[in-house]
């Protein structure tokens, strides 16, 4: 059993464009017994991506969100004091606040981050599942 934290783009792809997911990620997202987690940070990031027109949803964000949160039995990866402490100790080459909080969430909660982000995949201290 794996506990998987979905990076924002992986969550988006799983809901909107599952063909963008690699076969290994698709298999692990469907595997019975694996737990899928989503951070509140991903909701915030997704909203900003839609507002900046990086993703076109064809319906209001709030409607899409209702469906997307019910997708595949997602569990909440809470933003806790431990996550905040981990975030304050992390340094990434490009300090994207969303990436910092997602990486900190994975570290603090013992989750594997599912991502296609090369910067995060290059972090040897971070447990990841690449989208390949």
pLDDT digits over 107-131, tens only?
999 999 999 999 999 999 999 999 9
The phi and psi torsions of 128 (rounded to 5 degrees) equal -130, 160
Per-residue model confidence (pLDDT) at position 89: 95
> Is pLDDT of 29 > 80?
yes
Per-residue model confidence (pLDDT) at position 50: 87
> Is pLDDT of 32 > 80?
yes
Per-residue model confidence (pLDDT) at position 132: 86
Fold designation for 3-130: Rossmann fold (3.40.50)
**How many Å apart are CA 14 and CA 1, to the nearest integer?**
20
100 falls in which pLDDT band (50, 70, 90)? very high
Tokens of 118: 């090369």
The CA distances from residue 17 to 22, 88, 122, 124, in Å, are: 11, 33, 25, 29
pLDDT digits over 41-56, tens only?
999 999 998 888 887 7
Q: Which pTM does this prediction carry? A: 0.93
């Amino acid at each position: 059993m794996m506990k998987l934290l979905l990076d924002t783009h992986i969550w988006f792809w799983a809901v909107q464009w599952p063909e963008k997911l690699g076969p290994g990620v698709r298999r692990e997202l469907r595997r019975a017994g694996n737990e899928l987690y989503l951070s509140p940070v991903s909701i915030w990031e997704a909203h900003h991506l839609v507002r900046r027109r990086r993703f076109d949803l064809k319906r209001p964000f709030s409607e899409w969100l209702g469906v997307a949160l019910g997708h595949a039995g997602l569990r909440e990866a809470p933003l806790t004091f431990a996550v905040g402490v981990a975030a304050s100790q992390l340094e990434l080459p490009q300090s994207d606040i969303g990436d910092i909080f997602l990486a900190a969430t994975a570290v603090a909660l013992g989750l594997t981050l599912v991502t296609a982000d090369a910067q995060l995949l290059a972090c040897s201290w971070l447990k990841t599942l690449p989208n390949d």
